Structure 1
Amino acid sequence: MKKSIAALLLVLLLLGAAGSYLSVHRDSFTLWPFHKSMPFDGLSKAISDHQNNLFVIDNAKKTIHKVNSEGVLQFSITSDLGKNGEVYRFNDMAVDDQGYLYTIRTLLDPYGIAVKSEQIVRYTPNGQFDRSLFTQEYTDSQTRRYRLGSLRNVQVREGMVYFFNDEVTQLALYQQPVKEISSTTPQLAYTVKLPENKYVSEADGYKPNEIYFSTRSGEIYRAFQDGRSELVYPLPGIDRTRRNFPESMHLDNQGRLIFIDFNSKTISRLDPKQPYIIEGLVNEEKVKASGVELAFDATTSSISEDDSLIIVEATQINRRLPDGTITPSLVEVQYSSAMQTKVILLWSLAVVGIILLLIAVKIIFFNLLQRRLPLMMKQIFILIPVIAVSMILLSTVIYTSFSKKMEEETFSELILLARNGQNLIDGDKLQSLTSPLDYKGTIYNSFRKKIQSVFENNEQDDNQGFYKAVYKYENGIIYRILEDDDGMHMFNPFQQTPENQQVVLEGKPATGQWQDFSGEWRYAIAPIYNSSGKIVGVFETSKNLDGILRHRQMVLNSIIRNIVFISIGLLLVLFLMTYVLLSSIRKLRNSVGEIAKGNWDTVVTINTRDEVSDLGDSVNIMASRIREYITKVENFSQSYYRFVPQQFLRFLNKESILDVELGDQVEKNMSILIFNIRGFFHISKKLSPEENFNFVNSFLKRFGPYVRNHQGLMNKYLGAGFMALFPNRADEALLACIEMRRELEIYNSHRAKVGYQPVDFGIGLHKGPLRLGIIGEEQRLEGNVISDGVNVATILEKMTEPLGASILITDYVVQSLEQPAGFHYRNLGLIQVEGVKEPLHLFDVYQGDPETIRTLKDKTKVLFEQAVTYYQVGRFYDAREAFLMVIKMNRQDKAAQLYFYLCDEYFQHGTTAEWNGTLSVS
């Protein structure tokens, strides 16, 4: 269970890390792995730097790519979203000698139509955002602009950043040193007052007297240092209709004007020094001769440092070299190997994430659910996915149905609004508009005012985001007149489609949809009639699918939010009901658990009056019978443990007596204690058999608990004593001996009060290996110990009286003591005992003796042990004298007396050949 939970936590941790990393790099998921190139889609501008790197605005002004001279993509800058769903678009750019990129970044409303603000923004040479240099806000209807703001033509010249600001009645040029961008703000360098009723379209140049701007009515003016302006194009006498007007105007490196005429499908060059000579650089004939196709639709151009002309259309880039040659179309860029590797790694990580998700599902539903889990948790693991999937399917059905209904309503609404264009646009007045000179004239402004009154009367209305356009139909050609796009000019020809031909030829409204670089659109168009009933124009209302999808997303979010709330409510109700229903089961489980723990008096109390209540009653009956049975078993066990200690079974790794078999045995290293009453034979002769039993039982009852208090076990009783085993520390065994000797003084004082003679006992303690097991035959089993250590301990107990000791221990015990300094004992030396081949190294423990004896032995300990050392090395005279001094201080010291007589004997007559430094005791 713990391994499964740990594995699940690890998988979830890895899944979270992978998800976080993929979320940060989610933009790279627009690239498919193993694709080596990316086609252009929605180009609007391209420039080059001095290293011949190409910077292009692509993807409907949403992205800037840097492409090296070999056509390999270096990096991409993707526009962000605003705080309230607004969208950013790049409208212009320039690059300095250090590789810093300067762009005009425009913030549009969520529908991508109305301009909210504009910024001059700088990016580092590796494509990272650096800083914003200048900001222009559009906060009211007086400054309203569509798709294109007032900032124009950012450029880097001679270490300065320049850009224009269209201030309606004047054109302002701002400048800022490149090296001081971090510490200064753009400064106004120059202003020019616009001619009356003229509105800026584009501007270029930075030197006084060499600044040019084009107007929305199709003229080009030169601005002078004193703020006045002069018409440069078209001059009187130039062969040009009022519908041939310059677009994408800029200066080349020699100060000549380059512009595009969409009406004649020509890119022209004009030298202001020779204003009557207009050179056609690129036209349909020259393009076809070079094997290239140009649509001359939304085309832009720029000049590179080598004087080549960069021509940009929606899906391709061409260059016109200085010799007039037009290069083949560049329609895609190559991914670098590093970028391809990154994309492959990202997709691989996504696959790993899916695998981790499947592993998590497997752990939850195939590992955890098969283990013991609370029923509530199992319900969570099962019901939450089921409810989630059900809600997702439900929301999908609702959203699909709603989207289809919404799309139908959108088309119906668009058709209704398009038909209403006949009421907004006076056909006769529309017919009176003849050239771009009518831009923002009385009629133009009246059309714009009426349209705004219908479509822009409530900025909070959900019906915002409509794109409106008015077209004039004349001589079989449809011309643009008024649009929600300040980048489009009046009388720009509009391409023919089956839908608009249906409108202008048959007078029937039409609907349709198309997808271009600016998005996917739904539109409706309807005819505009003059007073004589002739079709003179077309009124269009359309919506970008992004706006529709955004509205759908709002609805979907609302659906999901409500479904989440409903799901949470359902889960809460379900959990509450389950909790209530399971409360009786939990109560039953807890009660049964208490019974299982041995709390047999537990009574199950359930008042639900259902099957669970019946089960509780049955459990109570069962528990009562179990209590009776357990009582009998416990009584039997307690009785049995009086004969066979429970520790004995544990040593054999047996749960109960039922598991014991003949021959079960185990080897242990234990302390062996032999306890015996001295002179019991003489005591028993004075007592009747009944009194003998009472005396022995009373005596053992008094001293036996000391064995158990120190983790010892009574192995067997020896008539007037017992044998005990201590499996743990030798210190515990010795403490039990000492406490029994101290208890003897209290016991004898009690006997004296009732006229009984005192009793004494000896204790032998030895530590060593033993074999503990079951002996006997099949019909009669007995737990016993087989070990030489039992014989040694028995001999020690018998030697206590002749050696004048109450507790005798071997050196094996002393060596096993963890805290030997906490005990009072003295070294008796090597003792040769009859029946034992090797001599025993014994110690006299006198810590439990009466105080007088203990004090005397403490006082003579050092001298006694020194005498023993003299004896062992054969210095009998010195030993005799030392033992004599001990006897003089403690006349009851039997061990000293025994040593004294032997020392005197050996000193007087010498030792035998077999003497080995030991003391013989029989």
Structure 2
Amino acid sequence: MKKSIAALLLVLLLLGAAGTYLGANRDSIELWPWNKSMPFDGLSKAISDSQNNLFVIDNAKKTIHKLDSQGILQFSITSEVGKNGEVYRFNDMAVDDQGYLYTIRTLLDPYGIAVKSEQIVRYKPDGEFDRSLFTQEYSDSQTKRYRLGSLRNVQVHEGMVYFFNDEVKKLALYQTPTGNGTTADPQLVYSIKLPDNKYVSEADGYKPGDIYYSTRSGEIYRAYSDGRSELVYPLPGIDRTRRNFPESLHLDNQGRLIFIDFNSRMITRLDPKQPYVLEGLVDDEKAKANHVELAFDTTTSSIGPDDSLIIVESAQINRRLPDGTITPSITEAEFSQSTHNHEVFIWAIAVVAILLVLYAIKLIFFNLLQRRLPLMVKQIFILIPVIAFSMILLSTVIYNSFSQKMEEETFSELILLAKNGQNLVDGDKLESLTSPLDYKGTIYQSFRKKIQSVFENNARDDNQGFYKAVYKYENGVIYRILEDDDGMHMFNPFQQTPENQQVVLEGKTATGQWQDFSGEWRYAIAPILNSSGKIVGVFETSKNLDGILKHRQTVLNSIIRNIAFISVGLLLVLVLMTYVLLSSIRKLRNSVGEIAKGNWDAVVKINTRDEVSDLGDSVNTMAARIRDYITKVENFSQSYYRFVPQQFLRFLNKESILDVELGDQVEQHMSILIFNIRGFFQLSKRLSPEENFNFVNSFLKRFGPYIRKHEGLMNKYLGAGFMALFPNQTDDALLACVEMRKELDIYNEHRSKVGYPPIDFGIGLHKGPLRLGIIGEEKRLEGNVISDGVNLATMLEKMTEPLGASILITDSVVQTLEKPSDFQYRNLGLIQVEGIREPLHLFDVYQGDPDTIRTLKEKTKTLFEQAVTYYQVGRFYDAREAFLMVIKQNRQDKAAQLYFYMCDEYFQQGTTGEWNGTLSVS
């Protein structure tokens, strides 16, 4: 049972970790593990840097990819979602020589239509967000913008970032340094006053006199340093009409203008020095000659550092090289081997997660439920999945039915609104619009005003998010006139589809759906007639599926919420019924469980006046008798623990004294402390036996707590002292020694106040292996410690007085200290003790000594230890002189005196052949 629960908890923990990891990498799991490339879908922009890396805006302006010169994907930057459901889109970008990427990031409303704000944002060379350079907010009082804000053409030149801001009546150029530490606001460089009734479409350049901008009415102007604008295109007599609208305007590296003419299906180059010469760089014929197919529908272009022309369509990228060659289409980004391996790993984690879910089900329904479990738990485990599955099935049926009905209602609503276009757009006035020169004219503004009055005056969520468009039908071609996209221009040809041909040829309303850079749409289109009944245009109303899904999600959330409430209600009813039926047994079980846990004061209270109540009374009687017996046993145990410490039992892995047997033993590595009162036997002769007992108990009561304070074990009392063991850190044992030595001064002060002579003690501390166990015979047992370390610690305590130390420790103690710098001690060298073959490396701990002694030892420590070193290598004269200097400063230093006499003897008489650098102490 415990293993199954532990396994289930481990599985749940692993599932949680796997779910967290998969959630953080949810974009990768959308790609199949065997895919080694990612096709482009919804391209809108591509640029190249000096290393021939390619940066592309893909996925309906939601993602920026970086590809190296081989087409290998380096990283992807994915747009975020605003806190209120707004969506971010990338509209332009530029890259500097250090690889920093600058983008125009536009925040749209949740329907992807109205612009809320724009930012110039910088990303690091690895694709990580760096900072925002500029923010443009759009309030309700400003002119409403659709899909495209006022910021234009971010560019990098000579260590500066430039960008244009369309301020309606004028065009402003701003700059800010590219430096990493720069945080200043962009500065205004140049402001261009626009000609009357002209509105900016695109702009390029950064030096006054070499700045060009196109207008929404189809012209290209050159801006001079004095603020004057000069028309460059189209000039009178040029072989182009007003329908040849210049789009995707750029300056190449020689200062020539390059733009796309969708009406002529051509990419054109214009040299301002020869404005009447229009050079066709790319058209259908030249593309086909290079085995390339161009659609010329959503095409954009940019200029590479090598003067190549980068041509971008919705699903492919081509380059026109300076020699006129058009490269084969790039339609996908290749994954690096590491990225592919990561995808495989993500899918492996997903497969493992599925297996873990199956294993969890097996544990619950085949392991746990077959074990002894509370009835309520079994019911919950069984009924919750059944109820959940039933509710999910029910919600799926309801949701699918609702979704189908909602989609039908959406199309019905769109058809109704599309037919209403005939009342909003006057067909005769629509016919009078002939070129982009009519942009924002009187007729154009009247159309916009009427449409807004119908669609934008209702604040209900389900009446928002509509996309409106007006098209003109002329000579078999459908032209864009007005729509909720400031990136589209008047008289841009619209591609023919079976649906719009049904409208313009048959006059019937049509519905359909399409997918573009802004999402998936449902639309309805209806004809616009002039006064003579002729079809002269098309009115479109459409709605982003995201908006429809938002309504569906609202309904689904409501269904799920109601089903959850119903499920919880049913579960509560079930639990309540089970609770009432089993309440008496549960009370009995809980009370008995408390008694079993040792809560002998627990009382069974059952008032049902039935068999369970009688059983409860019997349990209370039994518990009272057991309680009396346990009280006696516990009192006995508590008394015994004062003789045999609980720590001793824990070392032997015994829960109580009843489990101890003769011969139980365990080997440990501990610190052994021997504490003894000096001159106790002389002191005891002056005391009566009762006074002796009182003195020893009072003394041990004062110093014993320091052992327990530092997690030590009082092993046994030695008459005038005790032996203690420290199983944990050596620092604890030595700290206990120091604190006891400091306490001695306070204790002696109290003794002096009542006329008692002061006492002194010595402490020996050693760390090493020992065997702790039970000795004796069957009728008399005793816990004891057997170890050479005990004898060694005892000898150390005896040597404290001749060496003038209160605390003596061995090198095994010093070597195991975690913080040796926290203690004051000095090296006494190698000491030869009678009865021990090997010399001992001892240290004098004087940290707890009185201030005078501690200060003198600390002051002479370096000289003393140097003298010890001289002694050990046989330099007795130098050692004698050094020890003499120590004695002159500290006449009470017994260790220095002992060393001095030995140095003088060895210097005068020499050493024996057996001398090994040690100091003999008896």
TM-score over 0.5 for the pair: yes
Amino acid at match of 2:40: F
Q: Kindly tell me: are residues 252 and 583 of structure 1, through their superposed partners in 2, closer, same or farther at Cα, counting changes over 3 Å?
A: same
Q: Using the alignment, how far apart are the partners of 1:420 and 1:817 within structure 2?
A: 105
**Aligned pair in 2 of structure 1 residues 161, 375: CA closer, same or farther (>3 Å)?**
same
Question: Corresponding residue for 2:21?
Answer: 21
Q: 1:245 maps to which residue?
A: 245
> Is the contact made by 2:112 and 2:518 (CA closer than 8 Å) also made in structure 1?
no
Specify the alignment match of 1:424 in structure 2.
Answer: 424
SS in 1 for 2:566: helix
Does residue 293 of structure 2 align to residue 320 of structure 1? no
C-alpha separation in 2, matches of 1:265 and 1:8: 65
Task: Tell me the equivalent position of 1:543.
Answer: 543
Aligned residue for 1:637? none
Q: How many Å separate the matches in 2 of 1:296 and 1:534?
A: 29
Deviation string 1:305-342 (CA, Å, 9 cap, x unpaired) is 11110000011111111011111111111100010011
- Quote the residue 1:560 is aligned against: 560
Q: Which amino acid aligns with 1:393?
A: L
State the identity %: 79
Deviation at 1:594, TM superposition (A): 11
What does residue 397 of structure 2 align with? 397
Moved more, 335-344 or 543-552: 543-552
Structure 2 CA distance, aligned partners of 1:604 and 1:306? 92
The residue number in structure 2 matching 1:211 is 211
CA shift, 1:384, in A, is: 2.2
Q: Which residue of 1 aligns with 2:437?
A: 437
Indicate the residue corresponding to 2:189 in structure 1.
189
SS of residue matched to 1:462 = helix
1:282, distance to aligned residue in structure 2 (A): 0.6
Matched residue, 1:482: 482
What one-letter code is carried by the residue in structure 1 that aligns with 2:278?
I
CA contact (8 A) 1:472 1:537 kept: yes
Residue 619 (structure 1) shift: 6.9
Q: Which runs of 5+ in 1 are unaligned?
A: 631-667, 671-730, 732-810, 821-922
Report what 1:255 is aligned to. Answer: 255
- The separation in 2 between residues aligned to 1:499 and 1:813, in whole angstroms, is 105
How many equivalent residue pairs?
A: 637
Give me the whole-angstrom Cα distance separating, in 2, the residues matched to 1:181 and 1:438: 47
Does 2:122 correspond to 1:122?
A: yes
Equivalent in the alignment of 1:747: none
Aligned equivalents of 1:438, 1:819: Cα separation in 2: 108
Secondary structure of 1:42's counterpart equals coil
> One-letter code of the match for 1:321?
L
Q: Equivalences for 1:99-498 in 2 at 5 Å?
A: 99-140=99-140, 142-179=142-179, 182-498=182-498
Once the two structures are TM-superposed, the CA of residue 814 in structure 1 deviates from its matched residue by 11
The change in CA–CA distance for 1:172 and 1:622 in structure 2 (over 3 A counts) is: closer
In structure 2, C-alpha distance between the alignment counterparts of 1:596 and 1:12, rounded to whole Å: 31
Distance in 2 (alpha carbons) for counterparts of 1:571 and 1:422:
57
CA RMSD of aligned residues (A): 3.0
Q: Which amino acid aligns with 2:199?
A: Y
> Residue type matched to 2:143 in 1?
T
Measure, in 1, the Cα distance between the counterparts of 2:501 and 2:581: 71
Deviations 1:629-675 (A, max 9, x none): x9xxxxxxxxxxxxxxxxxxxxxxxxxxxxxxxxxxxxx989xxxxx
Distance 1:812 1:494 in 2: 108
Deviation at 1:396, TM superposition (A): 1.4
**Contact (CA 8 Å) 2:585, 2:612: kept in 1 or not?**
no
**CA contact 1:473–1:479 (8 Å) conserved in 2:** yes
Letter aligned with residue 566 of structure 2: I
1:257 aligned partner, one-letter code: L
* 1:636-655 mapped onto 2 (5 Å cutoff): none
Deviation track 1:594-620 (CA, whole Å, cap 9, x = no partner) reads 999999xx9996649xxxx5x649979
Deviations 1:156-211 (A, max 9, x none): 01110000000111000010111166331211111101111111000000001000
Corresponding residue SS for 2:202 = strand
Q: Corresponding residue for 1:653?
A: none
Residue identity in the other structure for 2:359: I
Does the C-alpha gap of structure 1 residues 618 and 330 become closer, same or farther in structure 2, counting only changes over 3 Å? same
- Per-residue CA deviation, residues 771-794 of structure 1 (Å, 9 max, x unaligned), is xxxxxxxxxxxxxxxxxxxxxxxx
Give, in whole Å, the separation in 2 of the partners of 1:36 and 1:422.
Answer: 51
The separation in 1 between residues aligned to 2:62 and 2:477, in whole angstroms, is: 32
SS at the partner of 1:501? Answer: helix
Partner of residue 510, structure 1: 510
**8 Å Cα contact 1:587-1:606 kept in structure 2:** no
Q: State the partner residue of 2:95.
A: 95
- Counterpart residue identity of residue 154, structure 1: V
Which amino acid in structure 2 is aligned with residue 537 of structure 1? Answer: G
Moved more, 219-228 or 257-266: 219-228
Q: How far is 1:36 from its partner?
A: 0.8
**Could you say if the C-alpha distance between residues 238 and 817 of structure 1 is closer, same or farther in structure 2, counting changes exceeding 3 Å?**
closer
- Secondary structure of the equivalent of 2:536? strand
1: distance between equivalents of 2:445 and 2:250? Answer: 29
Aligned counterpart, 2:569: 569
What SS does the corresponding residue of 1:567 show, helix, strand or coil?
Answer: helix
Offset of residue 566 of structure 1: 3.0
Deviations 1:29-52 (A, max 9, x none): 221102111111111110000000
8 A Cα contact 1:471 1:482, kept in partner: yes
Counterpart amino acid of 2:473? Y
Letter in 2 for 1:445: Q
Residue in 1 aligned with 2:680?
A: none
Q: CA deviation at 1:381?
A: 1.8
Kept in 2, the 8 Å contact 1:456–1:464? The answer is yes
Give the CA deviation at 1:588: 6.0
Measured in 2, the distance between the counterparts of 1:297 and 1:45 equals: 14
SS at match of 1:179: coil
- Any unmatched runs of 5+ in structure 2? 626-660, 664-715, 717-775, 786-922
Shift of 1:154: 0.3
Relative to the length of structure 2, the TM-score reads: 0.66
The within-5 A match list for 1:834-873 is none
1:841 matched residue in structure 2? none
2:274 partner SS: coil
Write the distance in 2 (CA, Å) between the matches of 1:31 and 1:444.
Answer: 46
Aligned partner of 2:31 in structure 1 is 31
Give the whole-Å Cα distance in 2 for the aligned partners of 1:812 and 1:524. 103
1:13, 1:323 → 2: CA distance?
62
| Cα contact 1:103–1:120 (8 A) shared by 2 | yes
Distance 1:184 1:340 in 2: 41
> Using a 3 Å threshold, how does the CA distance of structure 1 residues 364 and 815 change in structure 2: closer, same or farther?
closer
Closer, same or farther: CA 603–586 of 1 in aligned 2, 3 Å: closer
Mark the CA change 1:669 to 1:582 in structure 2 (over 3 Å): closer, same or farther: closer
Letter in 2 for 1:159: G
**Gap change, CA 1:818 and 1:83, over 3 Å in 2:** closer
Q: Which amino acid aligns with 1:478?
A: I
Equivalent residues in 2 for 1:380-779, closer than 5 Å:
380-587=380-587, 607=608, 616=612
Name 2:854's counterpart in structure 1: none
SS at match of 2:179: helix
SS of the equivalent of 2:541 reads: strand
Structure of greater Rg:
1
Secondary structure, aligned partner of 1:142 = coil
Q: Distance in 2 between matches of 1:261 and 1:384?
A: 64
Matches of 2:780 and 2:279, distance apart in 1: 117
Normalised to the residue count of structure 1, the TM-score between the two structures is 0.66
Q: CA deviation at 1:570?
A: 2.8
After TM superposition, give the deviation of residue 436 of structure 1 in Å.
0.4
User: Cα distance 1:559–1:182, how it changes in 2: closer, same or farther (>3 A)?
Assistant: farther
Structure 1 residue 394: deviation in Å?
Answer: 1.9
8 Å CA contact 1:604–1:619 kept in 2: the answer is: no
Looking at structure 2, the residues matched to 325 and 64 of structure 1 have their Cα atoms a distance apart, in angstroms, of: 27
Deviation at 1:564, TM superposition (A): 2.2
The 3-state SS of whatever aligns with 2:142 is helix
Distance 1:191 1:574, change over 3 A: same
Structure 1 residue 621 displacement after superposition: 13
